[in-house]
Amino acid sequence: MFSKRIKVKELLQLTPNEQEVTVMGWVRTFRNNQFIALNDGSTNNNIQIVVALGLLDDATLKRITTGAAIKVIGNVIPSVGKGQSLEIKANSIEILGDSDAEKYPLQPKKHSLEFLREIAHLRFRTNTFGAVFRIRHALTFAIHQFFNDKGFLNIHTPIITASDAEGAGETFRVTTLPIDGTAPRNADGSINFNEDFFGKSTNLTVSGQLEGELAATAFGNIYTFGPTFRAENSNTTRHLAEFWMIEPEMAFYDIEDNMDLAEEFIQYIISYVMEHNKEDLTFLDARLAEEEKQKPQNERQEFGLIEKLKFVVENKFERITYTQAIDILLNSPAYKKKKFKYDVKWGIDMQSEHERYLVEKHFKKPVIVSNYPAAIKAFYMRLNDGEEAGKETVAAMDILAPGIGEIVGGSQREERYDVLLKRMQQFNIPLQEMNWYLDSRRFGTVPHAGFGLGFERMVQFVTGMTNIRDVIPFARTPKNCEF
């Protein structure tokens, strides 16, 4: 029975006393026709299988190759070898799946991340990606646990929608109409979406926020955790076309409550991983330290991975306004020496280089920036009262993290019907199509707030991986949709 197997992680915790076990996994190496290093993905550590001379015939021995899947029944005994306290003396070995050693791409040597992206279907079997995806799982679990323990409801918002929450227009269209030019058209030549599957123009969601707000005005506190899509032609180490978002929405919250929750949330999920994934973090910490050694001294990160995570968990985040952030940048040596690629002035949408300067050079810890110019933020963000003409701000907040820049974006939502209506008109939001959203302000409106956390950027931050394509199982990027 396959269910009777013991996982390697659990096996390595045993005290060896000749107990018989069944273990299954994939061969990492096979030395001298005697020592098999076996891994089953539960940990980066292998279990050594000792094959006695004469136990297996030559034909079976030749099939024990790197990548092959095997089943081993044997006794747990103390190990005399270095780096392991126990091993298994095999009584029987069964080949479950052969692997052609000549063709198997993951030979026991170091491979570049670029090469592993080309074989993403096999990279899970490496130590680096084993650690990354176990941590990704732990973060997923911690997120649900955090919100569940606080009494939040998880809401599944639609993936196919007729709205563009951000008003950015960078959406993937969903249609069953023919793309060969024969789609039905209106008198003006535009596509007649009345004939489409949903009877209107639809797209993949860019955010579950607007629908989340509707649920928050009934349940109080809710959160979504699902895939979102942006048809943004960005070939960078920070962007994906398909990524996962966590978006809590809270009734009876203002911007300060929002910032408090976001900070507590980030510190909680990082603490969870530090407690439950020590082995994987230690491996990734050492990997990052080795990577940093290859860089010039002035480009090296100040903190190691675990040191950075401890710093985030143990320190309050710095809180500043957008106006204060711009003043800091304008007075910085980097600005005065013209080291910024992008200009700095009040009203700009801060670039990653500006955000990272604030976090990594000036404050040297995570920073929450609030009260952004209204002109560069979305229509649903609450207009601050008493602002001078030309310098209107909204109750928005971004959390900036070392090495990445923006990791959380949120705001107090505009709960005043007349103000929201005016903002929607300014942003050319189709009022008729968004009538359902306005209803939430017509019937029992309340002050409320929420934020969005890009999950992959959080995984990047916690694992120290520098390319976002290495923290999602199968990356969707411009000109790339493999698997």
Question: Which residues form the domain of 34?
Answer: 2-106
pLDDT of residue 1: 62
Report the pLDDT value the prediction gives residue 402, as an integer from 0 to 100: 84
Rounded Cα distance, 85 and 451, in Å: 47
Residue 117 domain-assigned (yes or no): no
What was the pLDDT predicted at 59? 95
* 352 secondary structure, DSSP code: H
pLDDT value of residue 390: 67
The answer as to whether 225 is a domain residue is yes
Q: What is the pLDDT of residue 409?
A: 96
Whether residue 321 is contained in a domain is answered as yes
Q: Give yes or no: residues 311 and 459 share one domain.
A: yes
Give the end of a domain, one of 52, 77, 106: 106
C-alpha span between 226 and 244 (Å, rounded): 5
CB 220 within 8 A of CB 214: no
Instruction: Tell me: do 433 and 312 sit in the same domain.
Output: yes
> What angle (nearest 5°) sits at the alpha carbon of residue 201, between those of residues 198 and 206?
105
Q: What is the pLDDT of residues 196-250, one digit of tens each?
A: 999 999 999 999 999 999 999 999 999 999 999 999 888 888 889 999 999 999 9
The confidence score (pLDDT) of residue 225 equals 98
Q: CA 201, CA 171: separation in Å to the nearest integer?
A: 11
Asked if residue 304 belongs to a domain, the reply is yes
Task: Print the SS3 string covering 19-75.
Answer: CEEEEEEEEEEEECCCEEEEECCCCCCCEEEECCCCCCCHHHHHHCCCCCEEEEEEE
* 456 and 367 together in one domain: yes
My answer on whether 42 and 156 are in the same domain is: no
Residue 208: predicted pLDDT: 94
3-state secondary structure of 276: helix
What pLDDT is stored for residue 325 in this prediction? 97
**Integer CA distances (angstroms), 311 to 135, 210, 267, 304, in order:** 19, 34, 10, 10
Count how many domains the chain has.
Answer: 2
Encoding tokens for residue 208?
């579950």
pTM, two decimals, is: 0.93
In a domain, residue 113? The reply is no
Burial (0-12, 13-18, 19+ Cβ within 10 Å), 325: buried
> Is 478 inside any structural domain?
no
Amino acid present at 141: F
21 and 132 fall within a common domain: no
Q: Is residue 458 part of a domain?
A: yes
Q: How many residues are listed for the chain in this entry?
A: 483
Residue written as token pair 């996982």: 7
Same domain membership, residue 352 and residue 303? yes
Domain CATH code at residue 52: 2.40.50.140
CA atoms within 13 A on the CB side of 315: 16
Beta bridge partners of 321: 370
**Residue 329 confidence (pLDDT):** 97
- Block means of pLDDT (10 residues each) for the chain, 483 residues, are 88 95 97 96 97 95 97 95 90 97 90 94 96 98 98 97 70 94 92 94 94 97 97 86 97 98 98 98 96 82 89 94 97 94 95 93 94 95 80 95 88 97 92 92 97 96 95 94 90
pLDDT of residue 295: 83
Instruction: Please check whether residues 27 and 137 belong to one and the same domain.
Output: no
Asked, for residue 62, whether it belongs to a domain, the answer is yes
In a shared domain, residues 436 and 313: yes
